């Protein structure tokens, strides 16, 4: 990987899908399962909030210590391309904080209903499989003209449009009481 060379002075390219990348991905999935178990096993708001916050702070601190609280100069630098342990812990800790914030907004304080993510959440398998099957077909995406290929705005517009169309499909399925469980 070109991105790893300035930090690690690697002469050979690194394959992130190898054994090391697989192990850190398994760690990330185990931490995600822990968050879901907290939400399933504990019924009281305070118990969930305390555990999510404790796990988030612990992961952020351990990830910060591993990288020396610096992006490049620590013992285990933060590197998304290499899926370093410090990156996995920091990303997971931040995800726990996002989950905690959404839990507080939606379930505890009831300031937000979760709209429009309720529809895509109820039929996420349809959204995922459908976007993989129809990833190059209209109306989900369209071809960007060659003269606009260098702008990020065109790709962002196409991605946003695709999400809106798939959310509408999921809304229609939920409105007709068709839910595809995972």
Enumerate the H helices of the chain as residue ranges: 5-8, 19-41, 45-66, 85-103, 117-122, 124-133, 152-175
Q: pLDDT at position 13, please?
A: 65
* Residues 13, 58 share a domain: yes
Domain tally for the chain? 2
Entry pTM: 0.78
pLDDT digits (tens, 9 = 90+) for 13-47: 656 667 778 899 999 999 999 999 999 999 999 99
Contact indicator for 174, 123 with CB cutoff of 8 Å: yes
Give the least confident one: 37-46, 66-75, 144-153: 144-153
Domain-ending residue, one of 67, 83, 108: 108
Quickly count: other Cβ atoms within 10 Å of residue 51's Cβ.
19
* Residues 151, 121 share a domain: yes
Q: Is residue 182 part of a domain?
A: no
- Would the CA dihedral through 73, 74, 75, 81 be positive or negative? negative
* Residues 136, 102 share a domain: no
User: How sure is the predictor about 153, in pLDDT bands with cuts at 50, 70 and 90?
Assistant: confident
């Amino acid at each position: 990987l070109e991105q790893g060379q300035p930090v690690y002075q690697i002469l050979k390219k690194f394959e992130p899908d190898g054994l090391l990348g697989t192990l850190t991905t398994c760690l990330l999935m185990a931490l995600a399962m822990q968050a879901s178990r907290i939400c399933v096993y504990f019924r009281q708001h305070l118990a969930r909030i305390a555990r999510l916050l404790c796990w988030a702070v612990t992961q952020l601190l351990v990830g910060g210590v591993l990288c020396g609280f610096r992006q490049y100069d620590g013992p285990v630098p933060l590197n998304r391309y290499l899926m370093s342990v410090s990156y996995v812990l920091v990303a997971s800790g931040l995800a726990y904080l996002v989950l905690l914030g959404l839990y507080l907004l939606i379930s505890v304080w009831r300031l937000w209903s979760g709209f429009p993510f309720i529809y895509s959440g109820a039929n996420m398998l349809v959204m995922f499989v459908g976007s993989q099957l129809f990833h190059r077909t209209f109306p989900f995406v369209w071809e960007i003209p060659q003269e606009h290929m260098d702008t990020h705005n065109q790709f962002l517009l196409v991605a946003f449009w695709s999400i809106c169309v798939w959310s509408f499909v999921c809304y229609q399925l939920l409105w007709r009481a068709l839910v595809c469980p995972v």
